[in-house]
């Protein structure tokens, strides 16, 4: 009799625990977030939307990204709805090799300009076998979730498929993310040349958060860009490096404009959550 009571209570307790976990998890699942993942010296942004929808922009320089991502995606969800590659430099691309191993990438978007490297050709071969739908990014493209556009592609300004560039940063995929009432400018490694082109074509709006271009290199984040984008906050995706990123020039410019700076090398993952 005593035994029966014990196992009955245990049963009730287990049931309650499961219920609480389910409740907390479901609640967590209903909020939209963007996470600027701490991937060391490189870029990676994960957008998590309700109903298990994920968008990954870049994947950093190493396989470590898979474990990072798994903290923000439920264990049973092995699909990533969309991966966007800003450009094929290894500090944005190499982590995608492990993402393709660990997740089903349903849709893939990139600029498609010519670029030669071992990692990039390996990646393109694996992508072929993955069977993802492949899209070319071009200014004006809108990516929507439940009718509302969540991502707006600002660059490249024209189709750059199989085009040659002196520097691959000229064919950067740049986008604006809208999450709740916050706007984020996601720049990849955009440099001043492209910043000027976007400003000239009236593509840059007033945003709340600027993902600083090219890890805080002095060739990005011009004064003009700060004047037009008017961010209140800036994220610098940076790790240990020998390039001097982020440069004092960029930090001074941000300081002059009174922009609050958040750095992955100081804070780890940086999470914005919309309510
Ligand atoms: Zn780059
Ligand atoms: Zn980079």
pLDDT at position 185 is 98
The alpha carbon of 46 is separated from its chain's Cα centroid by a whole number of angstroms, namely 4
Ligand 2 centroid – CA 43 distance (Å): 6
Query: How many structural domains does the chain have?
Result: 2
Q: Are residues 132 and 156 in the same domain?
A: yes
Q: Are residues 141 and 255 in the same domain?
A: yes
Tell me if 36 sits within 8 A of 270, measured CB to CB: yes
Q: Is the dihedral of CA 195, 196, 201, 205 positive or negative?
A: positive
Q: Are residues 37 and 14 in the same domain?
A: no
Tell me if 41 sits within 8 A of 238, measured CB to CB: yes
Tell me if 49 sits within 8 A of 150, measured CB to CB: yes
Instruction: Provide CB contacts within 8 A for 19, sequence distance 6+.
Output: none
Q: Are residues 20 and 80 in the same domain?
A: no
pLDDT at position 153 is 98
Q: Which CATH number characterizes residue 247's domain?
A: 3.60.15.10
Q: Which is nearest to 62 in space by CA: 104, 35, 20, 90?
A: 90
Tell me if 189 sits within 8 A of 86, measured CB to CB: yes
Q: Are residues 41 and 121 in the same domain?
A: yes
Q: Are residues 145 and 228 in the same domain?
A: yes
pLDDT at position 14 is 76
pLDDT at position 36 is 98
Residue 178 CB-density burial (10 A; 0-12 exposed, 13-18 middle, 19+ buried): middle
pLDDT at position 24 is 60
pTM of the model: 0.91
The alpha carbon of 25 is separated from its chain's Cα centroid by a whole number of angstroms, namely 23
Ligand 2 centroid – CA 63 distance (Å): 16
Q: Are residues 243 and 174 in the same domain?
A: yes
Q: Are residues 4 and 74 in the same domain?
A: no
Q: What Cα–Cα distance (Å) separates residue 220 from each residue in 58, 178, 253?
A: 18, 23, 11
Ligand 2 centroid – CA 95 distance (Å): 13
Ligand 2 centroid – CA 26 distance (Å): 35
Q: Residues for the chain: how many in total?
A: 275
Ligand nearest, relative to CA of residue 191: 1
Q: Are residues 130 and 210 in the same domain?
A: yes
pLDDT at position 178 is 97
Q: Are residues 213 and 269 in the same domain?
A: yes
pLDDT at position 4 is 64
pLDDT tens for the chain, 275 residues long, are 556 677 777 777 777 776 666 656 555 567 899 999 999 999 999 999 999 999 999 999 999 999 999 999 999 999 999 999 999 999 999 999 999 999 999 999 999 999 999 999 999 999 999 999 999 999 999 999 888 899 999 999 999 999 999 999 999 999 999 999 999 999 999 999 999 999 999 999 999 999 999 999 999 999 999 999 999 999 999 999 999 999 999 999 999 999 999 999 999 999 999 97
Ligand nearest, relative to CA of residue 238: 2
Q: Are residues 43 and 75 in the same domain?
A: yes
* Rounded to 5°, angle at Cα 211 from 271 and 39: 60
* Edge-to-edge strand ranges of the sheet holding 133-136: 133-136, 104-110, 79-84, 53-57, 45-49, 32-36, 270-274
Tell me if 148 sits within 8 A of 173, measured CB to CB: no
Domain extent, residue 60, equals: 31-274
Tell me if 47 sits within 8 A of 54, measured CB to CB: yes
The alpha carbon of 198 is separated from its chain's Cα centroid by a whole number of angstroms, namely 20
Ligand 2 centroid – CA 270 distance (Å): 18
Q: Are residues 119 and 26 in the same domain?
A: no
pLDDT at position 10 is 74
């Amino acid at each position: 009799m005593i035994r029966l009571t014990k196992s009955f209570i245990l049963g009730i307790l287990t049931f309650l625990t499961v219920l609480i976990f389910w409740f907390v998890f479901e609640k967590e699942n209903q909020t939209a977030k963007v996470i600027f993942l701490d991937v060391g010296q490189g870029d990676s942004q994960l957008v998590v939307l309700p109903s298990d929808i994920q968008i990954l922009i870049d994947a950093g320089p190493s396989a470590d990204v898979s474990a990072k991502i798994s903290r923000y995606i439920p264990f049973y969800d092995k699909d990533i709805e969309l991966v966007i590659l800003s450009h094929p430099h290894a500090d944005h691309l190499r982590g995608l090799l492990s993402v393709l191993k660990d997740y089903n990438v349903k849709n893939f978007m990139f600029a498609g300009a010519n670029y030669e490297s071992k990692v990039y050709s390996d990646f393109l071969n694996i992508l072929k076998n993955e069977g993802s739908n492949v899209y070319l990014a071009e200014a004006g493209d809108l990516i929507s979730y439940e009718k509302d556009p969540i991502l707006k592609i600002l660059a490249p300004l024209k189709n750059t498929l199989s085009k040659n560039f002196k520097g691959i940063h000229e064919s950067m995929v740049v986008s604006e993310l809208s999450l709740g009432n916050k706007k984020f400018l996601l720049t990849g490694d955009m440099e001043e040349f492209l910043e000027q082109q976007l400003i000239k074509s009236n593509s840059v709006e007033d945003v709340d958060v600027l993902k600083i271009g090219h890890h805080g290199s002095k060739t990005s984040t011009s004064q003009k860009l700060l004047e037009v984008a008017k961010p209140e906050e800036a994220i610098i995706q940076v790790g240990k490096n020998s390039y001097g990123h982020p440069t004092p020039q960029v930090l001074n410019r941000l300081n002059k404009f009174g922009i609050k700076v958040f750095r992955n090398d100081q804070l780890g993952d940086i999470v914005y959550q919309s309510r």
